[in-house]
Amino acid sequence: MPKTKTEKLKSDFEKMKNTYGINMYDKIFELRKFEIENFWKRTLFFWGTITIIYAGYFSASLDHFQIVIPLIGVLFNIIFSLSTRGSKYWQEHWESIAIVYENELDFKLFRTETSKLIDTHNKSIFTKPYRFSVSKLTMLLSDLSVLTWIILWIKELIDLYSKNILKFEFSFYNSSIHWLTVEIIVIHIILLAYFILFLINGNVYHKFKGEK
């Protein structure tokens, strides 16, 4: 007679514990903790680098090529936003597996509801905790930073165009090519093309074996 899902999980749980000395539930929590720690380590690295890019933009003077800094900021910040979502996914991946074990093996750690108990001990509206996701709020900050870089990039584009530095009227017949405009366009194409090609062909989105 085939084993039920609960019996299979219990069997695997005992096998890993007795044969290999691994407590699956403890291992799940260890991996979850690992993902949370890495989330904040990555966040610290990205925010530090983004702060340097901001400082470079507001203090550097690259004249006509100042527009390149917001472009780099946009691309770097998009990578940061995607990284935070990747870290959050793997954290919730292990939490979901823990809940599967709890449902089948009758554990009650993640499934225990504590909001009413917390509310009972926190009456002040000034110090009362709420169930906001700190990691998701970090995603929001990252996305807002992306929008800020886009606004700065548009500002630089408008400044260059209003000062008649960018000229999009080319003529090969009278050799009136504006090479500064060409250089700025080429820099944008190279950075954007590599960024897009890497996202498409670099296996950035993880897939499990057999997953389409």
- For the segment 51-102, what is each residue's pLDDT rounded down to a tens digit? 999 999 999 887 788 899 999 999 999 999 999 999 999 999 888 888 877 7
Q: Which amino acid is at 157?
A: L
Tokens of 129: 């905790």
Where along the chain do its domains lie? Answer: 5-163, 167-200
Residue with tokens 């009972």: 120
The pTM of the full predicted model, rounded to 2 decimals, is 0.81
Cα 61 from chain centroid (whole Å) = 30
Residue with tokens 């886009």: 150
Buried b / exposed e over 97-128, threshold 16 CB at 10 Å, is bbbebbebeeeeeeeeeeeeeeeeeeeeeeee
Q: How confident is the model at residue 210 (pLDDT cuts 50, 70, 90)?
A: low
Q: Which amino acid is at 13?
A: F
Whether 117 has a pLDDT exceeding 70, the answer reads yes
Contact in structure between 105 and 10 (CB atoms under 8 Å): yes
Whether 204 has a pLDDT exceeding 90, the answer reads no
pLDDT digits over 20-42, tens only?
777 777 888 888 899 999 999 99
Mean pLDDT, residues 135-141: 94
For 122, phi then psi, to 5°, come to: -135, 90
Contact in structure between 7 and 19 (CB atoms under 8 Å): no
pLDDT digits over 146-176, tens only?
999 999 999 998 888 888 777 766 555 555 5
- Rg from Cα positions in the chain: 26
CB under 8 Å to 135, separation ≥6 — which residues? 39, 84, 87, 88, 91
